Structure 1
């Protein structure tokens, strides 16, 4: 966030011989180490920050971008009468072939929009081995003509979603211990969680970004010895590295808290930490039971399926809904499944938001008897927390079997869903989206100014990399606690980060030992040299 780490130890901008104004050696050593930490983490995280900011901007405006780039698929000319929804689905099925399984139907969200029919392609591996890449078929609701098809993760918007999550669980995987299994083996029988390498790398990078933000704020924080350092202004007239340092610090401080919020709200998508967090929230603050319509005891209340079986990426299902059961339907007489048109009318009567998805029922057999699923009608996602709503419609009678909203979720699940909705730029409409846009631009500005500082630093002293100097002295107890306590807390909360930190410390210790045995270690400076050693100046 700022490379002006050495100002408490380097008085080049305001030379003084007053040794009493210099900070203690332990504080100078702490400041030096934090700057070196900030520098190296910045190099590690900068590529990810650029990728996340650029892909995030595309995702924020995915709807207008999609409408502009794929107008031939999404936009239609309104007519006087529509073709039955079931006929539209049949036309879409003929387009992809009988080997594709119907996943969901999204009726038009407006009069000039096409119907979208989602299919699972044959041989789709599915979650958790990989992320489903649905085949989307678009149908003109007024003529029944198929406008075309695409893979969900194709095109600019699909590419941005893949890049933003580093391709999720696709590719090599590791199996890591499950916190849910440790806390409640009955509810979470699997002892391990399969995690894609890309997904794990993104989780690790996200936590290191939190460290980057914290160290940047520490470096910016006002100190008495740095009274001349501007806090909320940029010294444009100074030019060079000073100008870029001031801009880097100013932008970083303004966006740091919001960026930290985006990082934390993005972690629930992480396969490993997100699954462990979901289990923790379910156990600590369980959701209230969803009230269901009166069902005879001879009929199961729910099916073996859950909402998570339909969509693990959160394209339609909110974060807190993935474990919700799909409730059962009650057959009467000669059961006949309702048409999609019938369910569409129920959804409109229940005032579901335009753009909702209708998921067909999945029937099963349990204990030798049939279990009939229900239609699930889910409000379009992303959404506001207040818009989180799923209807379970009896496939035979059309009555609402159950209704799930955010109100039934536990406190931690609601807080997580709120964070996810903020992350997606939807919770407070255009205000949230504008804030997210400014943050993405701010992140890119911070990376660019850091690169410019790096270039200027190299021009000034021949190398851009920080070197160990005598200023890296021993840390006092208070100074050491500033580093150790947050590291331990983050290591416990984020085990993958904790493991990476141990590796970093082991490498650092080995390198220090090698320097000492090689006789190249710098001798500790005198107290006075700490205050004027220009090599500390980044």
Structure 2
């Protein structure tokens, strides 16, 4: 080959690979930061995904009972048995309502020292089967590792950052994989096991990465709305745009429990409260929502809800994203002589409204509180949140999926997919495959880095000799930094540190 031909060939190759090292450098930095978090997220996410199958195996003597032909004992009796198993200072918080014949009844209490304890009772005999710490049970520890590394707010921010940097890693990884120099798309999707050494590791890393890219992207996008910093801001923005929480979830509609002595409309038997349209009405045929709204119009607006108390503050394992910031109702006046409805009666009311299994019933914590129901099933279209007056049994608010904004509906479906709940075991297996595949990606990336890393050096890819034509990528990074401010700050910090420590590579002849 002549010198001119070689120069022309090198020029074309260089043009085709212009910016490659810059992309590789950013992919390296993103991977270096994300790698340990990715392994933690993959392992904890897979374990938590299989929580329904794992917990009965972990705690069989507490969670599993022998099914019987006899009817279950009333919830009030079961709660009394659970209460008797703890010190008198323990306060009942939540009843986990279920009808599965092989599962025990669970009640959550707050102890005098502030810890929460679950008490398990045989629903057929009333025998107390044992207790478990809510905070220290294995699956709760796994969940907190997944969300915040057991480090509180700092860990939550770290996990959010790791998720954001995963977007950089995915984008640069796809760009690096993209076929060049006459390679076909089909060949780039097939692993080449004939290779050896680092070339084999690189091929496995790139091919596996492209097959997992969409799943990883889905994990990040469905997980970020639950993050501690960006997720809260995103929810506020969605709500302000009427795309998030339903009307009234942020205080637009009054919510209160009517105390004895306050004028309330007579309440019909629960079965008669439902009309064919699904509206809740009183025995006189009036809409109870309207009646409670009219009552609240005569009250001081600053007494509609307990200041600062929202659904996310309640002792619930999981709350639908759309109602996490919904204010918890409270009465406008001081408590008077009253006989609140027992939990068993409220369970009957909830059953008449179409919810019979696998929901959480939060008990009133004061004379002005209400019963709160959180139904968080696998199918997000069935999600419901109810507030029930603790004295009259009137349904103060019934928030359903159809009341959500477009963003909240999308987040609800994304959450169900993310947790492996939407379509059963198949969903769990797909989530596990993606999670463990991403952990394998982290391992292969680490092996590649270790094999090419010079002794005593970080081993970051060398810089471009000239300024690479990557305006689109720079714009994408800026856009990511604007959308995710926390990530934007770290992007800028990494760029400045890289420039200060390593500078720009000098041109060679």
TM-score over 0.5 (shorter chain) = yes
* CA–CA distance in structure 2, aligned partners of residues 229 and 23 of structure 1: 23
Query: Cα gap change, 1:327/1:102 in structure 2, threshold over 3 Å: closer, same or farther?
Result: same
Q: Deviations over 1:80-125 (max 9, x none)?
A: 143332232222223232333322101333112111101233354x
Query: Cα gap change, 1:221/1:99 in structure 2, threshold over 3 Å: closer, same or farther?
Result: same
Shift of residue 488 of structure 1?
0.8
Q: Deviations over 1:156-203 (max 9, x none)?
A: 322211211124663xxxxxxxxxxxxxxxxxxxxxxxxx11111111
2:38 equivalent to 1:44? no
Higher mean alpha-carbon deviation, 271-280 vs 226-235, is at 226-235
Q: Look up the match of 2:278.
A: none
* CA–CA distance in structure 1, aligned partners of residues 66 and 190 of structure 2: 53
Shift of residue 49 of structure 1?
0.7
2:397 equivalent to 1:405? no
Please state whether the residue corresponding to 2:19 is helix, strand or coil.
Answer: helix
2:291 equivalent to 1:294? yes
For residue 421 of structure 1, the aligned residue among 416, 421, 434 is 416
For residue 95 of structure 1, the aligned residue among 82, 85, 93 is 85
Q: Look up the match of 1:319.
A: 321
Are the aligned partners of 1:455 and 1:464 in contact in 2 as well (CA < 8 Å)? no
Q: After superposition, where does 1:128-527 map in structure 2 within 5 Å?
A: 134-167=116-149, 170=152, 196-224=153-181, 226=183, 230-285=187-242, 287-289=245-247, 292=289, 294-295=291-292, 296-297=295-296, 298=298, 302-304=304-306, 305-311=309-315, 315-327=317-329, 335-363=338-366, 372-379=368-375, 381=376, 383-457=378-452, 465-466=458-459, 469=462, 472-476=464-468, 479-513=469-503, 523-526=506-509
Q: Look up the match of 1:9.
A: none
Q: After superposition, where does 1:11-22 map in structure 2 within 5 Å?
A: 17=6, 19-20=8-9, 22=11
Shift of residue 432 of structure 1?
2.5
Please state whether the residue corresponding to 2:341 is helix, strand or coil.
Answer: coil
* CA–CA distance in structure 2, aligned partners of residues 264 and 374 of structure 1: 35
Higher mean alpha-carbon deviation, 73-82 vs 139-148, is at 73-82
* CA–CA distance in structure 1, aligned partners of residues 74 and 13 of structure 2: 79
* CA–CA distance in structure 2, aligned partners of residues 229 and 359 of structure 1: 55
Are the aligned partners of 1:248 and 1:450 in contact in 2 as well (CA < 8 Å)? yes
* CA–CA distance in structure 2, aligned partners of residues 329 and 82 of structure 1: 34
Query: Cα gap change, 1:64/1:37 in structure 2, threshold over 3 Å: closer, same or farther?
Result: same
Shift of residue 337 of structure 1?
1.1
Q: Deviations over 1:129-158 (max 9, x none)?
A: xxxx63211111122221111112324322
Are the aligned partners of 1:337 and 1:396 in contact in 2 as well (CA < 8 Å)? yes
Higher mean alpha-carbon deviation, 63-72 vs 428-437, is at 428-437
* CA–CA distance in structure 2, aligned partners of residues 237 and 499 of structure 1: 43
Query: Cα gap change, 1:488/1:122 in structure 2, threshold over 3 Å: closer, same or farther?
Result: farther
Please state whether the residue corresponding to 1:88 is helix, strand or coil.
Answer: helix
Which blocks of at least 5 consecutive residues in structure 2 are unaligned?
A: 254-288
* CA–CA distance in structure 1, aligned partners of residues 30 and 162 of structure 2: 9
Q: TM-score, normalised by structure 2?
A: 0.81
* CA–CA distance in structure 1, aligned partners of residues 219 and 435 of structure 2: 10
Shift of residue 482 of structure 1?
3.2
Query: Cα gap change, 1:467/1:418 in structure 2, threshold over 3 Å: closer, same or farther?
Result: closer
Shift of residue 363 of structure 1?
4.1
Which blocks of at least 5 consecutive residues in structure 1 are unaligned?
A: 1-15, 125-132, 171-195, 365-371, 514-520, 527-538
Query: Cα gap change, 1:228/1:416 in structure 2, threshold over 3 Å: closer, same or farther?
Result: closer
Shift of residue 382 of structure 1?
5.7
Shift of residue 209 of structure 1?
1.0
RMSD across aligned positions (CA) = 3.0
Shift of residue 328 of structure 1?
5.9
Q: How many positions carry a matched residue from both structures? A: 456
Shift of residue 462 of structure 1?
6.3
Are the aligned partners of 1:230 and 1:246 in contact in 2 as well (CA < 8 Å)? no
Are the aligned partners of 1:25 and 1:473 in contact in 2 as well (CA < 8 Å)? no
